[in-house]
Amino acid sequence: MTTPQPSEGAELRLIGLTKRFGPVTAVDNLHLQVASGAFIALLGPSGCGKTTTLRMVAGLEDPTAGQILLGDTDLTGLKPYRRPVNTVFQSYALFPHLDIYENVAFGLRRSGVKDVKAQVGQMLELVQLTGFERRRPLQVSGGQAQRVALARALVNHPKMLLLDEPLGALDLKLRREMQLTLKRIQEEVRITFLHVTHDQEEAMTMADTIAVMSSGHIEQLGHPEELYERPRTRFVANFLGQSNLLRTTVSGRNGDLAVLRIADTTVAVPADRVPSSGSEVHVGVRPEKLDLVAADEAVPQGRNALEAVVIDTSFMGTSTQYLVRTGWGQELTVFAQNRHTEVVAPGTLVRLTWRPEHAFVLEADAETPAAPRPAPVP
């Protein structure tokens, strides 16, 4: 058996990975390349195939087709206990009959490592659990159990760490804390992390690359900012944060800007974002990018403007969420920072303005743009 040596992780490549359960295709011809030492999040709603993908990398599911390469080794078909990867399970899966020390030492003992004691001690120090060696998993809190699970996986110096919704069972405050802890540890150990989550905020906080998944394939891969500012599909635009999508017709150019017609007005976006083919595109603007000003106020030079009527407001402390209706009847969401202005009353005619470069463009598809759902107040 290979003795796990301190490593800096390895590059992961998934080639045409497919998993079918009977008639259901959970993962559909998935291609993904993760650089060594990266922190990647597979983000998607439940049932999108993200956990199945992770389980195939761990060896807990056999792919129907495709290949899994880690560095130079082909993991496809290798038994889970022969793979240089370790997993932090969703429910932690700590062995209830062993104490914390033996839980962490489990992998080391299997691979016949000599200085188990020193390594376990070092790892418990890393996750700040020194002194908990003799406790049983049922005698520690959820956050502590989570850190034991992390230590138990990391102590083996895997080439890659797989995290299956590791923070799902924690309350909000602990989750925030653990997000930072995980990030710190990843930077310390420099192992490739593959993190599966359905929580977009968690993914954006921790990962340096996010793969947004939907029905078995990757919708978009990129840095969190890139995915947020420039989503390429409607699914991504609505799954990561909220979006106002306007269906427009390309009507011309104005220097670097493309002019798009919507109802009886026009808006501008950077011309290089508009696909050359097709005359219909969706323009997306995030609610916080929209400025809400009085209808009689002058629109600053170079900003897009739309008239709308406020139909609902909800005060959320630092900001106010407005629901407005445009002239053609579409409802849009606006987040306005509560800096100086008073909350605008429903029924008021207002103007929404934004800078052209704050908009993203999606190729129009057959569906009519649904008004984005009002976000649940966090």
Partner 1 sequence: MTGAPVTGGSVTGGPTTPPLIAPAADTGTDVAPPVRGRGRWIPYLLLLPGLLWLAVFFVLPMLTVASTSLQEGSLARGYELTWRVANYTDAAQRFAAQFVRAFTFAAASTLLALVVSYPLAYFIAFKAGRWRNVLLLLVIAPFFTSFLIRTLAWKIILSDSGWVVGTFQALGLLPEQGRLLATSVAVIAGLTYNFLPFMTLPLYASLEKIDRSLIEAATDLYASPFTAFWKVTWPLSLPGVVAGTLLTFIPAAGDFVNVRFLGTPSQSMIGNVIESRFLVVLDYPTAAALSFTLMLAILLLVGLYVRRAGTETIV
Residues that bind partner 1 (CB under 8 A): 1, 58-60, 79-82, 85-87, 89-91, 93-98, 106-107, 110-111, 138, 152-153, 156
Which residue, 91 or 279, has its beta carbon nearer to partner 1? 91
Rounded least distance, CB 117 to partner 1, Å: 17
Which residue, 31 or 109, has its beta carbon nearer to partner 1? 109
Euclidean distance between CA atoms 223 and 42, whole angstroms? 12
Which residue, 129 or 258, has its beta carbon nearer to partner 1? 129
Question: How many other CB atoms are there within 10 angstroms of residue 75's CB atom?
Answer: 26
Say if residues 167 and 92 touch (Cβ distance below 8 Å). Answer: no
Structure tokens at 264: 């009886």
Q: What phi, psi does 80 have (nearest 5°)? A: -55, -35
Question: How many other CB atoms are there within 10 angstroms of residue 170's CB atom?
Answer: 18
Which residue, 24 or 349, has its beta carbon nearer to partner 1? 24
Rounded least distance, CB 100 to partner 1, Å: 14
Rounded least distance, CB 71 to partner 1, Å: 18
Say if residues 239 and 200 touch (Cβ distance below 8 Å). Answer: yes
Rounded least distance, CB 165 to partner 1, Å: 12
Say if residues 244 and 287 touch (Cβ distance below 8 Å). Answer: yes
Which residue, 153 or 189, has its beta carbon nearer to partner 1? 153
Which residue, 191 or 260, has its beta carbon nearer to partner 1? 191
289: left (phi over 0), alpha (psi -120 to 50) or beta: alpha
Euclidean distance between CA atoms 234 and 242, whole angstroms? 11
What are the start-end ranges of the H helices in the chain? 50-58, 100-110, 116-126, 142-154, 172-189, 200-206, 224-229, 234-239
Rounded least distance, CB 229 to partner 1, Å: 37
Rounded least distance, CB 1 to partner 1, Å: 7
Structure tokens at 378: 């966090």
Which residue, 58 or 250, has its beta carbon nearer to partner 1? 58
Rounded least distance, CB 87 to partner 1, Å: 5
